[in-house]
Structure 1
Amino acid sequence: MNKNKLSEKEIIDIRSKMMFYIMNDLVGVATKKMRGITLNYMNDIMDINIIFDDKLTEEEEEEMQQIDTNTISSAYPILYDWQNRPILNIKQMNLNLIVIRPDIPIINKKGNLGWLYLRREY
């Protein structure tokens, strides 16, 4: 597999599994500040970008960091096979908490694995 070019099937498979893990971890901690969640995979790095419209409180930031820990452990089966060999060449997974004012559009911030969540904005 070319590290930077995934097939459509690989994109759908990774996106579906990551969406399940991340959305499951967000239950009870997602806030109305959340504008969108997108995934990007490039050069062996998986970025989970969560975009907010306002600065997070200390408690919200701690909850988001717990999602990072949970997602990495939950995603382990899609990253490694039963013999602990990498399925995807992901050497690093990052959770990026990004604040972008609500008057600035975020539609162009979509990662190459697409949006997992995008809030409707008026």
Structure 2
Amino acid sequence: MATISCPHCHQLVDSQAITCPYCRTTLKAYGHPGIPLHRATGEEYLCDSCTYHADDTCNFPKRPYAKDCTLYENLEASQLRLQEQREASSFDATVKKWTKRHQSLLLLLGLLFICLLVALSTG
């Protein structure tokens, strides 16, 4: 059984629990035990740092004052992920992937090139 810590009372509870058995804090969205329930810390609202609020695609009724949400996606993490994807699709990354996939072909071409140089130098 996997356990998590309750964000309110810090007791260990089953990771599939919808509410904490000790303090009754809601841990997951009702009816969706596989979906985590994101919570704001302190006085901040989740909407302040959510991707869906920033691009105006959120239709959550508590917006922009949501303190908990199942759809929350951190804006900074999303931007970092996009940056990593851009870097991964750059020309250098593409060349590195291609050479890694075709090492045997490059080795064969290298050997053929060496054989050609040897043949030209002895001829």
Task: Select the structure that is richer in helix.
Answer: 2
- Structure with max Cα Rg: 2
TM-score by length of 1: 0.25
* More RCO (CA 8 Å, sep 6+): 1
Task: Select the structure that is richer in strand.
Answer: 1
